[in-house]
Structure 1
């Protein structure tokens, strides 16, 4: 890719990111004035609570989308991994730390399976991950016997992991302190460094720009494309842990639709569905737009289904802007 081409793409990312930041500020101001009691600490905590699981999934799937692929399994995988981890703790009596590690490993294994199906078997990412979405949705029900799984509270045995995402107790605000935001930012910084400052990240970006040219230049495209899916699986499992810490009870067969929120956040944040262009910072901005919408709409008297309507409209606009930028370049 020529230098001028790179500059144009990076300019496009910067423009869309600025637009996303502006949209986020406008939404926050709108809900603050139009909504009753929106501008308060508890609302801020609720926004962050709803951003954790979407944010982790979005960070992971950013790598897949940058390669030009898609991962539709992250929503059901998020719940499936936590259901298995929770069952191992509640019924098998394994230590919570070990259960959390197993949860993350399961996510990586499903990500590996997705990557191999796409990179070696040649399946379209849409079909491969659609199949995995169905498998993980069913697997969660099989493992739990269709029963819900309730994770231990903070003061119970094994409930310590909740403190990673929220500190609550005497002397602290009633809504708690959203420590999960720190973990989300740390993981975002680490993944931004991986994507922009390391060889694997550069190869993943190159795959999305021109997969065949990357292969002909001697890069092992199977290895790096598979790595993108493994990262996506890992973060889907991490999202499951954050979801369990925030909402306690998980139901088998759920998780459908989570992936749409994550993918919408990624695209709104400036990552191109055509691949080769994207940023973790933009993804986080898109995620917070989704979270502010989800939290703020009830404050102005609108039902949650309005979020779907508005998100769909914003997503179409974001994709259209990407198409226009691509044509200009």
Structure 2
């Protein structure tokens, strides 16, 4: 009996995995890797792998933040500019004002949190369309970056902290992988636990699935939606700080256009635009798929302008696939 029970459990686990959004993005991801590697063996070389996951973490962290708002049925398109603002603020606080690195980071994240609160108030409290509200924030943050850093670039010197871990972050890779990769891993593990293993995470998804039912069950939907915008902005700020530490510079243009690639990664990774669905693992796989598909274009020697088309193609395919699945469920 125990053997039969174990077999049934394994079959159920396998069926659950195969029907998951993570599996649906894993299949095309592996297909792209295998096909490209078959024609271009160096595609999955250690050098190319490290190169990919030197850049992917920045978008992945922003995408993770964006997924919180998407899961509640909203969207935030200001994340890229918020990341840029967070990055240059921490650089200014350390290099110009001489603040300790931890104080600079906290202040930078507090400013980003305030931006998230403003977005939340406009969308949740004042019922301003989320696209319009966050577009306004995007433009404001974009302008503020250049107002506070008119010269364009500011170097950040972390050598003053050479006796602390912060001073070695950008110069000493761990197990061959750069700092930003490990920062991403830690952040995603925490997010996975929060979303998948806590009551709060289940309530967040419930808010996006059906707000009226969620409210009737005692969930504070308004508060959850507000918090999702704050988390989104704070994670954008974290991305900016990670970028600044990784490259030792504050640069206003950092983050430009990242929000759309992040949203594409979310959608491809199974985060529903209607809310109620999504996971950090799916977000990571979705962002990886977008970047690896773009990287494959370069390896095949195709025009680099096609890279932007990749985002649109994979995002459209993901949305159409999700729509087809939803229609099948309704018919069933």
TM-score normalized by the length of structure 1: 0.87
| Pairwise CA distance, 1:19 | 2.5
| Pairwise CA distance, 1:162 | 6.7
Is the aligned partner of 1:65 residue 2:70?
Answer: yes
Decide whether aligned partners of structure 1 residues 320 and 99 sit closer, same or farther in structure 2, where only a CA change above 3 A counts. Answer: same
User: 1:90 is matched with which residue?
Assistant: 95
Q: Contact 2:290–2:310 (CA<8 Å) still a contact in 1?
A: no
Decide whether aligned partners of structure 1 residues 318 and 185 sit closer, same or farther in structure 2, where only a CA change above 3 A counts. Answer: same
User: 2:6 is matched with which residue?
Assistant: none
Is the aligned partner of 1:314 residue 2:314?
Answer: yes
Q: Contact 2:17–2:23 (CA<8 Å) still a contact in 1?
A: no
User: 1:291 is matched with which residue?
Assistant: 291
Decide whether aligned partners of structure 1 residues 115 and 146 sit closer, same or farther in structure 2, where only a CA change above 3 A counts. Answer: farther
Decide whether aligned partners of structure 1 residues 274 and 233 sit closer, same or farther in structure 2, where only a CA change above 3 A counts. Answer: same
Counterparts of residues 170-249 of structure 1 (less than 5 Å): 176-249=176-249
Structure 1: give runs of 5+ residues left out of the alignment: 1-6
SS of the residue aligned with 2:178?
coil
Q: Deviations over 1:22-57 (max 9, x none)?
A: 222122223334347433222111111111111111
Q: Contact 1:162–1:245 (CA<8 Å) still a contact in 2?
A: no
Of the candidates 116, 120, 125, which is equivalent to residue 120 of structure 1? 125
SS of the residue aligned with 1:314?
helix
Is the aligned partner of 1:281 residue 2:281?
Answer: yes
SS of the residue aligned with 1:38?
helix
User: 1:3 is matched with which residue?
Assistant: none
RMSD (CA atoms)? 2.5
| Pairwise CA distance, 1:68 | 0.6
Q: Contact 2:69–2:229 (CA<8 Å) still a contact in 1?
A: yes
| Pairwise CA distance, 1:303 | 4.0
Larger radius of gyration: 2
Q: Contact 1:165–1:179 (CA<8 Å) still a contact in 2?
A: yes
Q: Which whole-Å CA distance do the structure 2 matches of 1:209 and 1:24 have between them? A: 27
Q: Which whole-Å CA distance do the structure 2 matches of 1:13 and 1:60 have between them? A: 26
User: 1:44 is matched with which residue?
Assistant: 49
Q: Deviations over 1:225-249 (max 9, x none)?
A: 1111111111111111222233444
Q: Which whole-Å CA distance do the structure 1 matches of 2:123 and 2:87 have between them? A: 25
Structure 2: give runs of 5+ residues left out of the alignment: 1-11
Q: Which whole-Å CA distance do the structure 1 matches of 2:24 and 2:45 have between them? A: 25
Q: Which whole-Å CA distance do the structure 2 matches of 1:265 and 1:192 have between them? A: 16
Q: How many residues align?
A: 314
Counterparts of residues 20-59 of structure 1 (less than 5 Å): 20-35=25-40, 37-59=42-64
User: 2:302 is matched with which residue?
Assistant: 302
Q: Which whole-Å CA distance do the structure 1 matches of 2:177 and 2:255 have between them? A: 26
Q: Which whole-Å CA distance do the structure 2 matches of 1:221 and 1:157 have between them? A: 46
TM-score normalized by the length of structure 2: 0.86
